[in-house]
Amino acid sequence: MGQVTVFVGENGAGKSNLYRALQLVKAAAEGTFSTEIVREGGMQSAMWSGTRRKHEPARIILEAEFEDERLASRLSYRVEAGLPPPVSGAFPFEPQIKEEQLNLDTGRRPVDLMDRKGPAVFARDGEGRRTEHPSRLLTSESGLSVLGQSGHYPEIGDLAAQMRGWRFYHGFRSDRDAPVRQPSIAATAAMLDEDGSNLASVFATLAHIRQDTVDLDHLIAGALEGAKLVIPYPEETATFGLNFPAFPPRVFRPGELSDGQIRLLALAGALLSYRLPPLIALNEPEASLHPDMIPSLAKMIARASERSQIWVVTHSARLAEAITEYCGSRPIHVAKHDGETELG
């Protein structure tokens, strides 16, 4: 991945599967890997439906690499999950983690920081000693989460903490009761929650704590025909509204805004907040947006990429082209051939 990575393709090509796979990597760090798959319908829903070779095990394999240019090193994480055998310590459709590895490559011989097979896991402690973790892991538990939160394995803990900080934004609700339309508690908010429920607090933090909404004001005005974001000083709750040039005395509350307007504001909160996570993933952010809003969204993504790594999944060629214009990153095209998702 570059600083901005864009996947573009038709519906059904498998773009959302890429987004979901990245979410599952984060879930391994959070300890919710198995739970997330079960919520989607279990292993049988997650497995590839195409033809496998005879005797080939039914497995899901996810791999991710993390480069540290400052230390000239690379961390490689791999998790492999499959169906439980007929008699096992897992439920029928629950993914069973078979193997996990975490390796550190500094340009010499790679070092295994964690190696798990079944319930047994070996790892290197803070002094570099390879020891077996005293607990046998459940098949639904990830070693990355268990060891990362134990406090005894610094490198594993640092990586897991970084991954837990990723944010995924997909299809902010825009109905009358949507979280983004509600007031927030009057507490400072460094970044937007994944459901957008603290949007008003994010805006209030920018306006009244950082006291800098220049980028926010400029991009919203460009996207919404000169509209101005109105952010009162919070008392018991934080809220916001929009003032449009055509109606100077009137401040439109969140509940009065169109679906496209409120979703654009939510994306602005995600991309321009006080602090950004190390990775922001956006799944079809153009949904419900008027075509005239697309350039402003691309500019927000470009601005956010100065402080965070951005992953965008879209079927909008117009958004992909706008991101190329403002970020210089060329889209990766996603297509399906014979049931397989291919990148090109």
- For residues 42-60, give the mean pLDDT: 72
Q: Which of 285, 266, 252, 273 is nearest to 196 (CA)?
A: 266
Do 155 and 211 belong together in one domain?
no
Of 56-65, 184-193, 294-303, give the lowest mean pLDDT range: 56-65
> Which of the listed residues 164, 187, 220 is the one where a domain comes to its end?
164
Q: What is the CATH number of the domain that holds 303?
A: 3.40.50.300
pLDDT, position 92: 63
pLDDT, position 89: 54
Of the chain, the percentage scoring pLDDT greater than 90 comes to: 76
pLDDT surpassing 70 at residue 333: yes
Q: Is 337 left (phi over 0), alpha (psi -120 to 50) or beta?
A: beta
Do 185 and 313 belong together in one domain?
yes
> Which of the listed residues 124, 139, 164 is the one where a domain comes to its end?
164
pLDDT, position 337: 82
Do 199 and 221 belong together in one domain?
yes
> Which of the listed residues 164, 182, 202 is the one where a domain comes to its end?
164
Q: What is the pLDDT of residues 222-239, one digit of tens each?
A: 999 999 999 999 999 999
Residue-range definition of the domain harbouring residue 38: 32-164
Half-sphere exposure at residue 35, Cβ-oriented, CA atoms within 13 angstroms? 9
Q: Is residue 26 part of a domain?
A: no
What is the domain count for the chain? 2
Q: What is the pLDDT of residues 166-201, one digit of tens each?
A: 999 998 999 999 999 999 999 999 999 999 999 999
Do 186 and 97 belong together in one domain?
no
Helices 259-271 + 294-304 axis angle, to 10: 10
Do 110 and 223 belong together in one domain?
no
Q: Which residue has the higher pLDDT, 203 or 128?
A: 203
Confidence of residue 137 (pLDDT cuts 50, 70, 90): very high
Q: Is residue 177 part of a domain?
A: yes
Helices 317-327 + 294-304 axis angle, to 10: 40
Do 160 and 175 belong together in one domain?
no
pLDDT surpassing 90 at residue 87: no
Do 173 and 263 belong together in one domain?
yes
Q: Is residue 22 part of a domain?
A: no
The whole-model pTM stands at: 0.91
Average pLDDT score, the chain: 92
Strand partners, 65: 76
